[in-house]
């Protein structure tokens, strides 16, 4: 997924580590999170039905979920920005199927200021 | 007539499915060899931060589905239990593909290694009828450093 490519110049650094390598954490702002719930697209579902006969990757769904995950990351980053953070550390993802055909994509991390 | 369609679907699933799988495995092996120089690590907690100038998160994901034949074979497996080989290869493929996507993106960025890699697998098939093939999303994420 292209988490990096759509980021603006004054980007928030995202890491899965407990800090940012080469920088020092000077302030903690606590947990930030972003989530989105997406339903399946009927056209893509029909195509996926065909694909289910031969198996393999379902590109339509991969893209759909990547988009959705990007959105949840964006929401998390927005929250971090509002707090005045310039990095989100220890980012984690979670996915859960809330209803048949709908999935929740959830991202969370700790907003910090690094120097 | 229904029986003929069923057999035809099974045959298509078996031949097209195993052909695609073999091709995918060949591709995966080739790409894995090409990206061997960047190590992946999954430690992070209670560990000193690796020395680096820059860090960035990378995510790789893939949604993968079983073919018709494998779905049918897995349904039969449900009767006797035991190891379901047909699903093992599905998840193995999916995971390796997702890892490669993350890694290739990190390599393009110039990462020297990818640390604190995490895996997540979720079933997005939805309804739990026997005929619905498994649809699994695998996501892999980690921090690339350089």
Mean pLDDT over residues B65-80, rounded? 81
A-proximal residues of B, 14-53, CB under 8 Å: 16-17, 20-21, 24, 44-45, 49-53
CA distance B80 to A71: 43
> pLDDT-based confidence at B53, cuts 50/70/90?
confident
DSSP string of chain B, one letter each residue? -HHHHHHHHHHHHHHHHHHHHHHHHHHHHHHHHHTTTS-B---BTBSPPPP-S-EEEEEEEEEEE--HHHHHHHHHHHHH-S--HHHHHHHHHHHHHHHHHHHHHHHHHT-SEEEEEEEEEEE---S--TTSPPEEEEEEEEEEE-
CATH number of the domain residue A103 falls in? 3.30.110.70
Is residue B44 predicted with pLDDT exceeding 80?
no
Measured between CA atoms, how close is A21 to chain B, in angstroms?
A: 5
Residue A8 inside a domain? The answer is: no
Q: Distance, in angstroms, between A57 CA and closest chain B CA?
A: 4
Chain B positions touching A100 (Cβ under 8 A) are 126-127
- Using the Cβ of B115 and the Cβ atoms of chain A, whether some distance falls under 8 Å is answered with yes
> Is the residue at A78 inside a domain?
yes
| B141–A52 C-beta distance less than 8 A | no
Q: Read off the pLDDT of residues A55-69 as tens digits, 9 standing for 90 and up.
A: 788 888 888 888 889
Q: Please report, rounded to a whole number, the percentage of residues in chain B having pLDDT higher than 90.
A: 29
Whether ipTM > 0.85 holds is no
Q: What is the CATH number of the domain that holds B75?
A: 3.30.110.70
Domain count, chain A: 1
Q: Write the pLDDT tens digit of every residue in A16-56.
A: 888 888 888 899 999 999 999 887 766 666 676 676 677 78
Q: Which residues of A touch B52 (CB under 8 A)?
A: 21-22
Q: Is A113 helix (H, G, I), strand (E, B) or coil?
A: strand
The structural domain count of chain B equals 1
Determine the angle formed by the axes of helices B2-34 and B68-80, rounding to 10 degrees.
Answer: 100
pLDDT in tens, B79-93: 888 888 888 888 899
Question: Number of residue pairs across A and B with CB atoms under 8 Å?
Answer: 152
Q: Does residue A2 surpass a pLDDT of 60? A: no
Q: Is residue A59 part of a domain?
A: no
**pLDDT at residue A108 in the model:** 94
Mind telling me how many Å the CA of B14 is from chain A's nearest CA? 8
Does the structure show a pLDDT above 60 at A93? yes
B-contacting residues in A 30-59 (Cβ below 8 Å) = 40, 48, 51-58
Q: What three-state secondary structure class fits A19?
A: coil
Chain B residues whose beta carbon lies within 8 Å of the beta carbon of residue A40 = 126
- What does the pLDDT look like over B60-69, one tens digit per residue? 999 888 888 8
* Segment holding A63, helix H or strand E: helix A59-83
- The boundaries of the domain holding residue A73 are 13-40+69-114
pLDDT for the residue B85: 83
pLDDT tier, A1 (very low <50, low <70, confident <90, very high otherwise): very low
Per-residue pLDDT, A23: 86
Interchain contact, A13 vs B56, CB within 8 Å: yes
């Amino acid at each position: 997924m292209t988490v990096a490519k759509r980021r603006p110049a004054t980007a928030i650094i995202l890491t899965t580590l407990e800090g940012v390598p080469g920088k020092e954490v000077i302030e903690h702002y606590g947990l930030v999170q972003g989530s989105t719930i997406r339903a399946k697209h009927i056209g893509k579902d029909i195509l996926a039905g065909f694909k289910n006969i031969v198996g393999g990757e379902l590109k339509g769904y991969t893209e759909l979920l990547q988009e959705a995950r990007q959105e949840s990351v964006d929401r998390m980053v927005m929250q971090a920005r509002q707090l005045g953070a310039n990095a989100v550390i220890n980012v984690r993802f979670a996915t859960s199927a809330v209803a048949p055909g709908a999935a929740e994509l959830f991202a969370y991390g700790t907003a910090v200021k690094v120097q | 007539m229904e029986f003929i369609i069923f057999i035809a679907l099974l045959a298509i699933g078996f031949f097209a499915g195993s052909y695609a799988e073999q091709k995918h495995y060949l591709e995966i092996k080739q790409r894995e060899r090409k990206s061997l120089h960047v190590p992946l690590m999954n430690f992070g907690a209670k560990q000193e931060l690796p020395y680096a100038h820059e860090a960035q998160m990378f995510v790789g994901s893939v949604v993968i589905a079983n073919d018709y034949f494998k779905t049918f074979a897995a349904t039969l497996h449900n009767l006797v239990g035991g190891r379901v080989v047909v699903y093992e290869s599905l998840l193995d493929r999916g995971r390796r593909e997702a890892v490669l996507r993350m890694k290739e993106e990190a390599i393009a960025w110039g990462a020297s290694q990818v640390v604190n890699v995490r895996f997540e697998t979720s079933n997005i098939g939805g309804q739990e009828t026997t005929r619905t093939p498994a649809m699994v999303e695998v996501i892999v994420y980690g921090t690339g450093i350089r």
